[in-house]
Amino acid sequence: MTSGRILVVEDNPRNLKLVRDVLQFSGYEVVEASTGEDSVRLADETLPDLILMDLQLPGIDGVEALRRIRARHGECHLPSVPVVAVTAFAMDQDRQRVYSSGFDGYVEKPINVRGLLQQVSDLLRRKES
């Protein structure tokens, strides 16, 4: 049985619906944001166990949103919450940029559902241990 609260940050409604449906069907609680600014606020308010972050967003992009979420102080776990980048970029240098920006994982669009679920459960399990 899977469990955990996942914040999904995605400005494309079709991608958002796909990811939400897949995660909910697998037993996760889903919180949705469609802008980087909203993701920072909702991370604070809902303290997710994991975040899926689209990189290309209106307003601040996923890299800047990650930076702001990681900068949160206090007694919450947000400075170390696992954050997975979701992006159409496919070049090796883009992958390098994702990891050097502090993301914990990387999912390419178009989204492979099985790969997404595997990565989510791996990161949540790593967090528990």
**Binding region for Mn ion (CB under 5 A) out of 7-15, 89-97, 100-108, 109-117:** 7-15
Assess contact for 12 and 54: CB atoms under 8 A. yes
> For Mn ion, which residue has the nearest CB?
56
86 C-beta neighbours (distance < 10 Å), count: 24
According to CB under 5 A, which one of 42, 43, 52, 54 is a site residue for Mn ion?
A: 54
Query: What distance in Å separates the CA atoms of residue 91 and residue 128, rounded to the nearest whole number?
Result: 32
According to CB under 5 A, which one of 5, 11, 44, 101 is a site residue for Mn ion?
A: 11
Query: What distance in Å separates the CA atoms of residue 52 and residue 107, rounded to the nearest whole number?
Result: 9
**Nearest distance from C-beta of residue 118 to Mn ion, angstroms:** 22
Query: What distance in Å separates the CA atoms of residue 36 and residue 39, rounded to the nearest whole number?
Result: 5
Residue 35 binds Mn ion (CB under 5 A): no
Contacting positions for Mn ion (CB under 5 A): 11, 54, 56
